[in-house]
Amino acid sequence: MKETSMSFEYPIIDTYYGRKAYGTQVCDFEERINVERMRNYRLKRTKDQLIKNNLGAILSFNEWNMRYITGTWVPSWTTPSSGLRYALLPVTAKNAILYEQGDIGYHTKNIAPWLEKVKVAMTGFGNIGVVMGPNYNIVQRNKLIQQIVDDLKAYGVDKETLALDVWDPTVVAAFEKAGIKVSPIGSLMMLQARKIKNQDEIECLRACCAIGEKMFDACKQAIRPGIKENELMGIAHKVAYDEGAEVYAGMLVTSGGFGWPNSRYATDRMVRPGETVYIDIYNTAFLGYKICYYRTFSCGPATQEAKDDYAEALGWLYDAINIIKPGVTTKELVEKWPPGPSVWGDILTKYEDQTAANNWGHGIGLALYEYPIVWRPASLEDPLTLEPGMTFAIETQHGRPGKHGVRIEEMVAVTETGFEMLSKYPVAGITECLF
């Protein structure tokens, strides 16, 4: 039958170039982030790993894994593995069982109806259990073990192996005494599950990058002589919370001669004219998905030396970024970077172990560090292959002792044919904050 204008229907376009980073609010006229699809995708990825590894269930104490499995979250004082709450996913269950801390389950059962069950956590694992005292710690641990054993039996997986994502020898021994086989593979299994992001997870990262860019711009407007590093942190944190982000460790601000080598924290140091200021927004999250995103500023015009060092670091960075596509290995990325001792002898760099987190890349999602790590010592010896759906941050740095440091970091997603740049804040040169 011949198509007419009346019968024509628009198709879904795989390479749709419309808006991305739609916003942080729900609306009825755009799909935006489909959280149900995201939860179902994460659940399937986890179950696929259970089946692949011949496991009956996973018991998670790690907050990031729990969020991935259950789609629930409580404030970060419980993270990353306090033992105050935990989750069990039997391979035979429709969804996960959440064991919630204290009376929070009163709310959780009603606001997270997709969960299989919500039970009371037998709080006694890890440091929380230890500080209860040696005797009651054992009481609570035994209650936890019995609770999990009962649920494993209820779902018919008590004869199969249980994966743990936090390996506590006393808990392991207690499970084995109760007749449950346990495996330490849980953490690695969950990293494999979380390695490939779907469109909703990537959209969370886009939205968080957009929030990060607003944080950078607020700092740009505030960088003037006399502004303190910790004041800039406060300004950026306010923007993050105003825009609905979650802040864990949050960010760092480093200025002047303290920037090389990178001190990785902020103080009440005042910024002076002509100094570089670099700002790292890391562990700031939207719906749990973190960013790690650096930019370098100067208070007034930057010095020529700082500009030269920035240009060199930017060249290293984009030499690596521009070859990103599926099938490329992390070895090929780091081969674009010089050996650390060859360029950073001025800060006494003799071994590549001193360069950890300098010229560096790291997978990013619900945790700050996921697959893949991009670092010369690891990647030259044990390279990982890039796959569509991987998301990672990639960063380079340079500087001169006592004068300045420059640091740059981008966020990328590996696509079917190359990469998408998730970070958008200007990067061609040092951002000069003129006054």
| Rounded-to-integer distance, Cα 215 and Cα 201, Å | 21
> Tens of pLDDT along 204-219?
999 999 999 999 999 9
| Rounded-to-integer distance, Cα 204 and Cα 195, Å | 15
- The arrangement of strands across the sheet holding 117-120 comes to 117-120, 97-100, 86-90, 57-60, 162-164, 182-183
For range 58-77, the mean pLDDT: 90
| Rounded-to-integer distance, Cα 116 and Cα 125, Å | 23
**pLDDT at residue 78, rounded to an integer:** 64
* Distance from the Cα of residue 173 to its chain's centroid: 32
SS3 361: strand
Residue 15 in this model has a pLDDT that exceeds 80: no
Domain range summary for the chain, segments of one domain joined by +: 35-193, 196-433
Residue 384 in this model has a pLDDT that exceeds 70: yes
Helix pair 186-194, 63-70: axis angle to 10 deg:
60
End-to-end CA distance of the chain: 68
**pLDDT at residue 185, rounded to an integer:** 97
* Cβ atoms 163, 183 nearer than 8 A: yes
Which residues are CB-contacts of 8 (< 8 A; sequence separation ≥ 6)?
none
**pLDDT at residue 11, rounded to an integer:** 81
* Cβ atoms 172, 182 nearer than 8 A: yes
Confidence of residue 45 (pLDDT cuts 50, 70, 90): very high
**pLDDT at residue 178, rounded to an integer:** 97
Exposed / middle / buried, residue 259 (Cβ in 10 Å: 0-12, 13-18, 19+): buried
Of 255, 320, 241, 221, the closest CA to residue 284 belongs to 241
Confidence of residue 340 (pLDDT cuts 50, 70, 90): very high
Q: What is the DSSP string of 252-314?
A: EEEEGGGGTTT--S--SPBP-TT-EEEEEEEEEEETTEEEEEEEEEEESSPPHHHHHHHHHHH
Of 204, 392, 396, 208, the closest CA to residue 311 belongs to 396
| CATH entry, 196-433, from 3.90.1150.10, 3.90.230.10, 1.10.3720.10, 3.40.720.10 | 3.90.230.10
> Tens of pLDDT along 270-295?
999 999 999 999 999 999 999 999 99
Domain 35-193 has CATH 3.40.30.10: no
Beta pairing class for 162-164 and 57-60: parallel
Q: Quick check: bond before 338 cis, omega within 30?
A: no
Of 367, 335, 356, 373, the closest CA to residue 262 belongs to 356
Beta pairing class for 419-421 and 391-400: unpaired
Six token digits for residue 55:
């496991």
